[in-house]
Homo-oligomer: A and B are copies of this chain.
Amino acid sequence: MESMANPADEVLRLDRQLCFPLYAASNILTRAYRPLLDQLGLTYPQYLVLLVLWERAPRAVGEIGQQLFLDTGTLTPLLKRMEAAGLVSRQRDPEDERRVIVSLTAKGSDLREAARAIPAKMAGRMGTDPELSLCEAQTLHETVWKLIRSLNLAV
């Protein structure tokens, strides 16, 4: 029978970890998005890439990676799948042949219409029983961003 024989092990209790709920919430949120995004033929990271491109396109791969905190090992194959799906096009920058410019196709651009309904639908799912107030959501948003900045500086 394993248990808290040593009081020093209190720090190892799952419910004392800050990182675990963030990890779990990320997985659960991605799962919650899936039925909505399936209808658009998107995965959650692909949806994030479109959010970035809908704000400004075209963009270099590196810029997208900076916005989303993802490296090229993740983005290159992901963008290729999006290209195969006809959502974006990828071409070398003639000004600087090291860079790859990602542009929206008409299909990728048009998808924004259908995507407008998603944030409200997701918000609806968080407004049930243990209701997350608007204020709490706001504070959560700010604190998580603060955590992100803190961790990024430390590295």
Closest to A59 in B: B2
* Structural contact, A53 and B2, CB atoms closer than 8 A: yes
A29: B residues at CB distance < 8 A: 19, 22-23, 151
Contact B128 A147 (CB under 8 A): no
Identical copies of this chain, number: 2
Identify which of residues 1-60 in chain A touch chain B, using a CB-to-CB cut-off of 8 Å.
1-4, 8-9, 11-14, 16-33, 44, 48, 51-57
Q: Is the interface of A mostly helix, strand, loop or mixed?
A: helix
Contact A150 B136 (CB under 8 A): no
Inter-chain CA distance A122–B18, complex, in Å, is: 10
8 additional contacts (CB under 8 A) given A2-B104, A128-B153? A9-B112, A13-B55, A14-B55, A19-B29, A19-B122, A125-B151, A130-B146, A136-B143
